[in-house]
Structure formats: structure tokens, C-alpha cells
A and B are shown apart, each in its own frame.
Chain A
Amino acid sequence: MKITKLLPITLALLLGATGVYAAGGADAQSQDTAVYTLNLADYLRIATETEPNASDVSYGTEYSSATIDTAMTGVFKVISNNRTQDFYLVGTCPTAAGTTKCLYGADGDCKNLKMVFTKIDVPPAATAVTNITGGSPTTGENPDAIAFPLTITPNREDGPDESLSATWDTDKIKYTMNNGIETFTCTVSGSNEAQTFSTHDTDGQYQATLTMTETAL
């Protein structure tokens, strides 16, 4: 027997021993598979895309009203790959207690509400703020605290569909959205809310802070 005949026989026997041998024939075959799996981790990024500007305030006749000269606008950007993502918009202003929640008066879709500003150098008592956010302010009870209208305009920049929902949650806005990219333009402008500005409000700088956050502060 020639050695050239021995080699293929030997190879055939070896293949048979592996257990995955497939002999020749019309439907014979051999195969193996790799199943690749990659895990895409959760991602959430909240950033301030545009810092709000400051503005002077003009007084009405006999110090009867306060009007913001230049609308103050800030923009938040939220990026998420989660199928359902919750996050919150919280407003705070300085008070003798540290800070106090200062948003109130939201409408049904939380696009129009009010925000209280307080004096920075000598912050008022927290009650000056709660007097306003409670919904029935009286000027004598909220010294150095002034409320202005706040409008929020969401805009879908990327994502499979528009799925944003906004609900009022005690003292803040709760947002829920599908994966995507959303911006929120927050603008404070116009004149003071009734019963929140008077000679009880001394001259100086007033401040309020908006915070977009993953956790309910």
C-alpha cells in the first residue's frame, strides 16, 4: 500500500475520534458557533448647557412693582440611554436656615410656574419664602423675598420618540422620559407676583438657584 493512501485514512480516523466528525455525503457538514454579547451600561448625564445671566430690576411707580430688565435664561441638557429615566427640577433660594425650596404655582404640564428670589447678603427667614410658596402671600410676611414667573420649554434633540412627562411633586417638578436627549430652557422674566414685592424688600442682590438632578432633593 502506498503511503499516499495511508495519510487520508489516518486523518479520517482522527477526525472520527473527535466526536464532531462529519463524513462525506450530500448533507454532511460540521459547524460551531460564537454568541457575542455586549452589555451597554446605564448612562445619564445632566449638564448646564447655558448659564443664566443676571439682570437689573426696574421699579414701578412709588416702588409698587419690580420688573426684570433682561430675561434670565438658563438651559439644562439631559442625556439618557435608559428606557425610563426619572429626574427632577428643584429650585432653592438662600434663607437664614440655609436654603429653602422656592418653586410653586405650576400649571398642568409644569411649563409655567413661579420662583422666589431672596436677598443674598442678609437672607430672610425661611418663613418669608414659605409665605409665598404656600400660595397666599402677604407683603408684610415675606420681606426680602420676591417671586417672578418662570417658564420652562423642553425640546427633544434626539431619541426614538417624544415621551417626556412632567408632574408636580410636592415642591419640585418630576420628569420622566425615555432614552434620548432633551434640553430644558428655563426663563425668568416679567414682573413680580402679587403680594411679593413691597418696601419690605430692601435693596441689594437677590438670588434663586435651579438644579436639575437625578435624585429627589
Chain B
Amino acid sequence: MKNNNLIKSLILITTVLIGTVQAYGYAEVEQSVTTDVQPSVAISKITSQETGSINPANGVNTGLSASFKLQTNGTDEDYDFIVTSSILSMDGGEVSAYGQNGCLLFGNTTSLPTVTAIENARIGGNENRNVIAYPLTMGITNPMSVGFTNSTQYGDCWAVKVNNGTEGTLTQTVGQTPVVNTYSVGQDEAGAYRATVTFTAVSK
């Protein structure tokens, strides 16, 4: 009887094991998960030197710069990546602060320049009271690229192409020597001079 019981038990265990294996085999099914990933983007300033001074004897400044981090899973077909600028005028509100070759125009914040003076500085003239222009250089990590352009949609701007990259750093540096004809100790009053630069990703 004892032997019979043992045999029955073994048979039972074997059956259960076999049954389990069979049950698992029946539960296996083909699954398909579909996720719609939207393009996304993040721009943030990571380092900057946004204040400095100008030597009144020659207009040379102490140096300004800013770096922006760009992260995106989008493409150049999803976004326009642009760097725009603004300067405050006396008679026209905020206008673009870009001049020839993408140089950056600074305006006196107390004695605001006229739009005429800003436009004159934009083309490198010498009638630009209270406006001082400095060269602006842009650099960006590979595979991204950047260049100055005049866009029908955004006007003068620096345009960034991500070229299928997902992360990069845009570094802008304001040159220290003023653009020729834009600094004059007799025309440019003492005080604070300002320009604003904004890096934006615009969904298309």
C-alpha cells in the first residue's frame, strides 16, 4: 500500500508538471505595442556673461557670451530653430538688433536711439547716435549647423539646423571691438547699452 501511494504520488506530480508546462504553452500570445511619439524640444541657457563695460576711449568692450543647450527628438521639418534679437528704439519700440553679417546692435537705455540711427548702424553708416555695433559669432556642436539669414517669416535671424542631431550647444560670442563707424565718443552718450538675443524653437 505504501508503495502504491508512492507511485500514485509520483504520477500525480508528473501530471501536474506536465500540466503546468502545457498551460504556459497555451498562454503565449503575440502582442504588438504602438506608441505615437510627438516631436519635442527644450532650449535652455546654460552659461553666460551678459554684463560688461565699454572703454570710452575706443569703444572696446570687456566681452560677452552665452551658451544655449538644445535637445530635441524633432527634425528640421518639425521645427524652425532661430535666434532673434531686439533693441529698444525711441520712436519705433523694439526692432531687430542685427546688422550687417549678423552683428549685434546695442542701444543706450536712457537716451534711446531713433529708428533712423539704428537703421544707419545696421548698414554700417556713421550717423548712429547712441547705437554701438559689435560682431557676433555663433558656434554649434556637430552635426548641427548655424548661419545668418533673412527669413521671410522671422526677418533677420541666425537659423539653426539640427541635421538629425538630438542634442547640441549653441555658443554666441559678442566681439570686443566695435564695428567701424558705429562708436563715437562724441555721439554715443555714457550709460548702459543693451541688446536682447532669444533662441527659439518654433513648431511648423
Q: Mark A residues whose CB is within 8 Å of B.
A: 1, 5, 8-9, 11-12, 14-16, 18, 20-43, 79-83, 157-160, 179-181
Contacts and interface: CB of A to CB of B under 8 A. Distances in A.
27 contacts: A5-B37, A9-B35, A11-B166, A12-B37, A15-B40, A24-B39, A24-B78, A24-B203, A25-B203, A30-B42, A32-B45, A33-B196, A34-B198, A35-B194, A36-B51, A36-B104, A36-B174, A36-B194, A36-B197, A37-B109, A38-B52, A38-B106, A39-B52, A40-B189, A43-B185, A179-B185, A180-B187
Nearest to B134: A38
A18 B55 CA distance: 40
Nearest to B184: A158
B202 A35 contact: no
A79 B185 contact: yes
B187 A26 contact: no
A29 B204 CA distance: 10
A37 B110 CA distance: 12
Nearest to B202: A29
Interface string B64-107: 10101001111000110000000000000000000000001010
Contact of B196 (A18, A26, A35, A158): A35
A23 B42 CA distance: 9
Contacts of A41: 53-56, 190
Interface residues of B, number: 61
Interface in B145-204: 166, 172, 174, 184-203
Contact of B41 (A8, A15, A80, A180): A15
Interface of chain B: mostly helix, strand, loop or mixed:
strand
A59 B190 CA distance: 52
A32 B45 CA distance: 6
A20 B44 contact: yes
A11 B40 contact: yes
Contacts of B111: 83
Contacts of B79: 29
Given A20-B42, A22-B40, A24-B203, 17 more contacts: A22-B203, A30-B42, A32-B45, A32-B198, A33-B45, A33-B196, A33-B199, A34-B66, A36-B66, A40-B188, A40-B193, A43-B56, A79-B186, A81-B190, A159-B187, A160-B187, A180-B187
Given A9-B37, A79-B185, A81-B186, A38 B43 contact: no
B56 A39 contact: no
B122 interface: no
Q: Which of B41, B108, B193 has the most CB of A within 10 A?
A: B41
Nearest to A160: B129
